[in-house]
């Protein structure tokens, strides 16, 4: 039988995190925990009636939050994290997973009713063992489920899962496997930025044991970076480099859980840890509505014995990040080479005393010339930084307005404007006479233009070729978005809220991928460009 096929949003749901963050109150699905059965396995002293981490309990109910997994992303090429699954059509009973020896297994049975969640990926507590009420396809390597026909509002199914809980007491001495069996979760793309390698080397040099390295990466990220729901999507090398080392006053050192999880996974692989990224949701009690604001990504590390262990690199609430410079050692400064020629002696007579004295003499009012120039330069720098921040804030507000506010036709039109603005920022503006379907075809083949002519005047920001050796991923298709635009324009009243949300997902996926293919400095210019605020439609 032909294996089920998935589109780009299901292959890389990590790019949907920022889209869900735009509408945190959007109801994605309802979950009801029907049963949490007994535990099996010795678990090395883990109490099955207690959460793995007491700090994660709900202060109101005392219950531990339940993580509901949407997809496991194991493959990274330096540009995109992907599920990379091979889905096989399955019946009610799924192939059993081999449990790790140092874990306790809880049986969790939940009923899930889909609301506004789109795509084909089915949420479930890991690892699903039985599904009733929906036809599914299953990837046994990652435990990811899909509904081949696609999710629709009202779809209801019951899933029984075997949830593994590792013995945390064994992690301090646990090793990590190596070799071909874990090559997939150790592989990184070509062109790794040198700063990422230096940071990974620094974190590994002070922490020999695998668990200590994982904790060091987790602590570094949670201590130095800020969680920002408005941060743009992206997890390619340029995105991660700007997130980790970019200036704070220009948008660096802050991101969504997408950047935190992706950075942890890449840094972990650079230090020899088998890692992967998981996209899912956190239900406070395991029963009730799950909204867009409950979606997040987290990293996992594979240890011999305990198996896959989740880490939480997000900063704690109400904490201020510490400057990265306090703990990240910069590269040593190159010594200044000696001059190649002896400087010619200066003739004292050539210096006019009156000119020299006038330069050092304070001006009237007590302000010297150098001090006045320094103050003016500082004022201009502050003014430029303020304008840059203002542009970033206005651009984010504009994007939120376009994708989340107003009736469905307006939001679909806003998603289309996001795409056309992105093409213009990439130097590939669509000719105004093209229809929506022709613009979609134009956008699908948007290669970078040739290097700009230095004699040409100012114009749209040109695109940049990807670094040598990097695989350029295909841009997500816009055919469905073009169809939605035509429907909203020519069939008034036919567009629904679900159509508007799918339009926003397609726009975010396309613009994020197109932007990720720029060089880091062109990405910075992209974010600070005021054009989308004033371009005529």
The pLDDT value recorded for residue 12 is 92
pLDDT digits (tens, 9 = 90+) for 366-422: 445 554 455 566 677 777 777 777 877 788 888 888 888 888 888 888 888 888 888
The pLDDT of residue 127 is above 50: yes
The pLDDT value recorded for residue 237 is 94
Residues 500-529: what's their mean pLDDT? 80
Q: 61-75, 181-195, 286-300, 482-496: which range is least confident on average?
A: 482-496
Mark 249-260 as b/e (b = at least 16 C-beta within 10 Å): eebbbbbbbbbb
Domain assignment present for residue 79? The answer is yes
The pLDDT of residue 62 is above 60: no
Which one has a higher pLDDT value, 138 or 383?
138
The pLDDT of residue 122 is above 80: yes
Domain assignment present for residue 502? The answer is yes
Return the structure tokens found at 265: 């996974």
Which one has a higher pLDDT value, 263 or 381?
263
Tell which of 145, 166, 187 closes a domain: 166
Q: What is the count of structural domains for the chain?
A: 2
Q: 45-59, 273-287, 321-335, 412-426: which range is least confident on average?
A: 45-59
Please choose, from the candidates 75, 91, 116, 92, the residue with its C-alpha nearest in 3D space to the C-alpha of residue 235.
75
DSSP category for residue 364: T
Which one has a higher pLDDT value, 502 or 137?
137
Please choose, from the candidates 308, 83, 62, the residue with its C-alpha nearest in 3D space to the C-alpha of residue 182.
308
What percent of the chain clears pLDDT 90, i.e. is strictly above it? 38
The pLDDT value recorded for residue 472 is 52
Q: How far apart are CA 482 and CA 498, in angstroms?
A: 15
The pLDDT value recorded for residue 371 is 47
Return the structure tokens found at 187: 């592989």
Residue reference for tokens 């009420």: 133
Q: Which 3 state secondary structure label does DSSP give 154?
A: coil
The pLDDT value recorded for residue 139 is 92
Residues 98-107: what's their mean pLDDT? 84
Domain assignment present for residue 278? The answer is no
pLDDT digits (tens, 9 = 90+) for 81-97: 999 988 999 888 998 87
The pLDDT value recorded for residue 322 is 85
Tell which of 127, 150, 166 closes a domain: 166
The pLDDT of residue 523 is above 80: no
Domain assignment present for residue 205? The answer is no
Domain assignment present for residue 489? The answer is yes
Q: How far apart are CA 181 and CA 236, in angstroms?
A: 25
Domain assignment present for residue 202? The answer is no
The pLDDT of residue 133 is above 70: yes
The pLDDT value recorded for residue 328 is 76
Domain assignment present for residue 513? The answer is yes
Tell which of 148, 166, 184 closes a domain: 166
- What lies within 8 Å, CB to CB, of 99 at 6+ separation is 41, 105, 162, 164
Q: Greatest CA separation found in the chain? A: 98
The pLDDT of residue 351 is above 60: no
The pLDDT of residue 198 is above 90: yes
Query: Would you list the DSSP string of 157-189?
Result: EEEEEEEEEE-GGGGGG-----SGGGGGGT---
Domain assignment present for residue 290? The answer is no
Q: What is the mean pLDDT of the chain?
A: 79
Domain that includes residue 446, residue range: 387-450+459-534
Residues 20-49: what's their mean pLDDT? 71
Q: Say how many residues make up the chain.
A: 537
The pLDDT value recorded for residue 134 is 93
The pLDDT value recorded for residue 492 is 64
């Amino acid at each position: 039988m032909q294996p089920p096929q998935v589109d780009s949003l299901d292959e890389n749901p990590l790019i949907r995190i920022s889209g869900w963050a735009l509408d945190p109150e959007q109801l994605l699905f309802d979950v009801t925990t029907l049963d949490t059965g007994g535990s099996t396995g010795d678990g090395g002293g883990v109490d099955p009636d207690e959460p793995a981490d007491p700090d994660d309990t709900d202060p109101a109910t005392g219950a531990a939050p339940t993580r509901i997994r949407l997809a496991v992303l194991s493959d990274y090429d330096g540009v995109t994290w992907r599920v990379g699954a091979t889905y096989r059509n399955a019946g009610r009973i799924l192939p059993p997973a081999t449990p790790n020896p140092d874990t306790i297994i809880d049986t969790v049975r939940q009923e899930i009713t889909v609301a506004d969640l789109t795509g084909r990926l089915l949420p479930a507590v890991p690892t699903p063992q039985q599904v009733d009420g929906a036809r599914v396809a299953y990837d046994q390597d990652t435990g990811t489920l899909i509904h081949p026909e696609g999710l629709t509002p009202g779809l209801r199914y019951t899933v029984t899962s075997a949830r593994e809980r590792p013995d945390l007491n064994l992690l301090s001495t646990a090793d990590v496997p190596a070799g071909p069996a874990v090559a997939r979760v150790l592989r990184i793309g070509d062109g790794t930025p040198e700063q990422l390698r230096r940071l990974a080397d620094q974190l590994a040099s002070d922490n020999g044991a695998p668990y200590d390295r994982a904790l060091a990466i987790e602590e570094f990220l949670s201590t130095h970076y800020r969680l920002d729901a408005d941060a743009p999507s992206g997890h390619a090398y340029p995105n991660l480099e700007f997130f980790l080392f970019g200036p704070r006053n220009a948008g660096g050192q802050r991101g969504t859980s997408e950047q935190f999880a992706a950075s942890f996974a890449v840094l972990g692989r650079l230090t020899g840890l088998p890692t992967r990224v998981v996209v899912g949701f956190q239900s406070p009690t395991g029963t009730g509505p799950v909204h867009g604001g409950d979606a997040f990504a987290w990293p996992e590390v594979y240890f011999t014995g305990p198996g896959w262990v989740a880490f939480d690199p997000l900063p704690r609430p109400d904490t201020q990040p510490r400057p990265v410079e306090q703990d990240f050692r910069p590269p040593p400064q190159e010594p200044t080479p000696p001059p190649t020629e002896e400087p010619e002696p200066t003739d004292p007579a050539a210096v006019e005393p009156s000119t020299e004295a006038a330069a050092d003499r304070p001006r009237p009012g007590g302000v010297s010339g150098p001090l006045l120039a320094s103050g003016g330069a500082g004022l201009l720098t502050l003014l430029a930084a303020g304008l840059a921040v203002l542009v970033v804030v206005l651009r984010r507000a504009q994007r939120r307005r376009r994708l989340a506010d107003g009736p469905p036709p307006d939001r679909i039109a806003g998603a289309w404007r996001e795409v056309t603005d992105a093409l213009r920022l990439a130097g590939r503006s669509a000719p105004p006479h093209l229809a929506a379907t022709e613009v979609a075809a134009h956008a699908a083949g948007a290669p970078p233009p040739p290097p700009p002519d230095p004699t040409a005047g100012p114009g749209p920001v040109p695109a940049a070729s990807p670094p040598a050796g990097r695989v350029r991923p295909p841009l997500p298709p816009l055919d469905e978005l073009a169809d939605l635009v035509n429907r909203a324009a020519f069939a008034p009243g036919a567009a629904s809220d679900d159509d508007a949300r799918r339009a926003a997902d397609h726009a975010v996926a396309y613009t994020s991928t197109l932007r990720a293919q720029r060089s880091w400095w062109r990405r910075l210019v992209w974010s600070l460009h005021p054009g989308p605020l004033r371009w005529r439609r």
